[in-house]
Structure 1
Amino acid sequence: MKYKKQILTLHKILGLTTGIVVFIVAITGCFWAFKEEIEALLNDDTAIEVRAQEHLTPTEAKDIAKTVFPQQTVHGTLFKQPNDPIEVIFYDAEPEFYQSVFLNPYSGEILEVKDHMTGFFAFILKGHMRLWLPKELGEQVVGVSILLFIIIIISGFLLWLPKRRKNLKQRVSFKWKATTRWKRKNFDLHTILGFYVCALALILAFTGSIMSYNWMRYGFYKAIGGDKTIAFIIPENTSTTLEKNQDVSPIDQLIPLLRKENPNAESFELHYPHSETESIYIETSNTEGVYYDSDFRFFDQNTLEEIETPSVYGTYSNAKVSDKILRMNYDIHIGAIGGIAGKIIAFLSSLLIASLPVTGTLLWYGRTYKKSKKSAL
């Protein structure tokens, strides 16, 4: 049929154009799916003995860590369990700087300095997000390629649809014989595996595009009934002056108060105000391995009065269904939303997706070579 020839042409052109990008993004995605599990196996962390004394305050932790990187910006301080180190995180966008200083929570001893911009998974992430190219260029190439990959998936499914129902079986199962040629096997690998993975590939590509493009994230959120701001907003203080006669500054009182309020939390990440009018931002991780149900809370830096944000990123219990779906996007993308089973599915899906540009290129080469050979004769 004429329309199928047009779809095939589109599928072939887009596939050949974006093939190398899709292959790199998919292969690196395989590794990233199990990042936390692999790092947990490789890290030889020694538990810190719990003492009957108070932890370092956020101010003390920041001051100690700043002796290591006095010129860099403290992004926040992560407080985990009582026997875990305190992690002071430094981040600057230009020039890009991302390192952490780990402290003994009781003595303030510097235990480790970690550069998040180096190492295996930093290499994998740079490949996944920007193909190891300069950030501005690489992210655009990946973003556009994944949008085109969505079209490739849809066009591939239309090409897969058999003309007759009786031909359906050969499109969903491998029936190879000893005499089956490699070209037929390659065609089956491309079409049959492509069919089985197309739905998951569409989910991975769509969730990846939502993270890449604000317009797509905004459009999707509004389409599912969202009515809040999708940008991350840190509200201003409601007070103007610090209350008098306080032995401990408000920011240093906050973590103990939150621990008492939520003793089962995985961690509390405190972000220091960038000005006298900005509130304190706390991200509470409630479940290990996922991010969607974290609580984003904001406190007046003078009075510790909690302040609501107009953003979708607030407390999870107050989030609407549309807010929760948007916040689940990253966990869906890496499979963490389904636990270890979800990560296995994401890993296998990414592996199969990586095979499609390979088998597709071989399919194109085989047909082109065959035509060239006939023309020569």
Structure 2
Amino acid sequence: MSTTTAQRTTSATSATSAGYRTLWRWHFYAGLFVMPFLVVLAITGTLYCFQPQIEPLLYPHHLIVAPQATPRLTEDALLAKARAAMPADARAVTAPIANAPERSTEFIFRLANGEKQSVYLNPYNGEVLGTLSVERRFMQVGRMLHRKLLLGKPGELLMELAACWTLVMIGTGVALWWPREKTTARAALLPRFSLRGRALWKNLHTVMGIWLALGTLAFVLSGLPWTGSWGKQFKALASAANLGAPPGSWGGLPLRSAMPGMVMDDLPLPLTPWAVGNTPVPQSADAHAAQALPLGRIVALVASLGVPGGYDIVLPTSATGVYTVSYFPADPKDERTLYIDQYSGAVLKDIRYGHYGAVSKAVSYGTSLHMGRYFGVANQILCAAISLGLAGMAVTGCVMWWKRRPQRSLGAPSRERAAPPMRGWKTGLVLLGIVFPLMGATLLAVWLADRTIFGRVARQPA
């Protein structure tokens, strides 16, 4: 080999090594921040995914009844019994409608202190089976941990940041794995249990990461539209561009102006289709001399419109309120939102999947898959495998760091003096920072900290 050729080879190897270490450094920073949140997301997400199976086991005496041959009591009779069992100042706000013969009937009340409480009844004889706090139910606590760490808005922003930084972790992780020398698919995609020590942990971490990368990306992209900062702005932008729920979703009947500031997301519903979250809630015609239609009439009307059981009805709480029906099934194509005048029974608005814009349709399918609802138990198992696999990634990453950590140091991979420009990666990070401004601010902060605080150049073992 000539001297010139040898110099070129050495230079190329050095550049590749420098690029590798730069990617590794950013992968380390992303993992350092993301991994603790991924453990929380993995555990709470898996539990919430199996909510239909878990809740009956946690609250069997509240949720499960023995099916009987006798007819069920009417919704109005059951609602009257529920009201009698609750404090006088409690107000019924939501009626989940479930027709399964083995399930109890539930009504949700808002107490005088603002808390919500569910009361459960045997639909065959009206026996009150007990009450549960809506906010303190096990699955609701898990859901709030998943969304905002039980910390309110700050926790919600932290979880959003963790999701955005996961994109950096995925990108740098795939780049670190990408074969730089001739290798077989088996060596790249299957773990090598013959290795020992840190080499085995690194191999497990790498292979698991590649298998989980696509599912993790799908999780992140389908979850971000529900976040409180970026997701809220994204929803507003989609609606403004007629890519969410366009004005064409309004029914043919003339509508009174909506209640000031009241949109679908403000209603006491456990889940609301993403597409209709910003939809204004219309009003009933204020008919002082008329009596509001009973709940049973509304249930019969909804059935005649082709909506099966498994939906929620928000009850009107004022003279101009409406009955709001939210049907949020596993298949997004069947989603339905109806607003019904409480006096005349007129359908003021009927929003269906066909009215959604392109973005809302995509988000609806992403949500159903994200929650493990779209194709039944197989979807639940797939989501659980991805979630628990991410928790495993956190464990292997921590073990690798622990085994190579230096004393009295963060242990970040060192930065090379002659690192290549890596313009493509820098451009990608800038674009991510523009699309996700909150992430962009933290990217800048990490970059500044990396240059000023953690700017060591000494090599550490790979």
Please confirm whether the aligned pair reaches a TM-score higher than 0.5, indicating the same fold: yes
Q: Could you say which residue in structure 2 is the equivalent of 1:256?
A: 300
Aligned to 1:324: 361
- Is the Cα contact below 8 Å between 1:26 and 1:353 reproduced in 2? yes
How far 1:138 moved relative to its partner? 2.1
Q: Per-residue displacement from partner, 1:2-59 (whole Å, max 9, x unpaired)?
A: 333222111101211232111121122222221212234552522353545760328x
Aligned-residue identity in percent: 20
Structure-1 separation of matches of 2:160 and 2:222: 11
* Cross-structure match for 1:11: 27
Alpha-carbon distance between aligned partners in 2 of 1:120 and 1:53, rounded to the nearest angstrom = 29
**1:333 and 2:370 aligned:** yes
- What does the per-residue CA deviation read over 1:101-133, in whole Å, with 9 as the maximum and x for residues that have no partner? 1134465432221223335434433432333x4
Question: Secondary structure of 2:32's partner?
Answer: helix
Return closer, same or farther for 1:71/1:291 CA change in 2, 3 Å cut-off.
Answer: farther
What's the RMSD between the two structures over aligned residues? 3.5
User: How far 1:197 sits from its partner (Å)?
Assistant: 0.4
**Maintained 8 Å contact 1:32/1:121:** yes
Distance in 2 between the 1:113 and 1:238 partners?
31
Counterpart position of 2:117: 99
Gaps in structure 1 of 5+ consecutive residues? none
Alignment-derived partner of residue 149 in structure 1: 166
2:40 to 24, 35, 56: 24
Q: Map of 1:103-252 to 2, 5 A cutoff?
A: 103-105=121-123, 108-118=126-136, 120-131=138-149, 133-166=150-183, 168-177=185-194, 180-212=195-227, 213-218=231-236, 225-226=243-244, 228=246, 230-237=276-283, 239-241=285-287, 249=293, 252=296
For residues 203 and 283 of structure 1, what CA distance do their matches in structure 2 show? 26
Aligned-partner residue type, residue 86 of structure 1: T
Q: Deviations over 1:318-364 (max 9, x none)?
A: 44554332223432212221211111110010011111122112222
| Separation in 2, partners of 1:32, 1:82 | 21
Partner of 2:183: helix, strand, or coil? Answer: helix
Greater Cα radius of gyration, structure 1 or 2: 2
Change (3 A) 1:52 1:197: closer
Letter in 1 for 2:318: S
Alignment partners' CA distance in 1, 2:279 and 2:242: 21
Q: Specify whether residues 82 and 30 from structure 1 end up closer, same or farther in structure 2 by C-alpha distance, changes over 3 A only.
A: closer
2:73·2:125 contact (CA, 8 Å) conserved in 1?
Answer: no
Alignment equivalent of 1:299, drawn from 333, 340, 345: 340
User: Structure 2: which 5+ residue stretches go unaligned?
Assistant: 1-15, 247-274, 410-457
Matched, 1:270 2:313: yes
Change in 2 beyond 3 A, CA 1:221/1:350 = farther
Distance 2:345 2:240 in 1: 33
Verify the 8 A CA contact 1:197 1:349 in the aligned structure 2. Answer: yes
Cα offsets for 1:129-188 (capped at 9, x unmatched): 333x432332222221122112211221121111134365422112332xx212111001
State the Cα distance separating 1:68 from its structure 2 match: 1.3
**Taking structure 2 as the reference length, what is the TM-score of the superposition?**
0.68
- TM-score, with structure 1 as normaliser: 0.81
Number of equivalent positions: 361
Q: Distance in 2 between matches of 1:182 and 1:347?
A: 28
User: Are 1:64 and 2:82 an aligned pair?
Assistant: yes
Contact 1:234-1:281 within 8 A present in 2 as well: no
Q: Is the 8 A contact 1:226 1:323 kept in 2?
A: yes
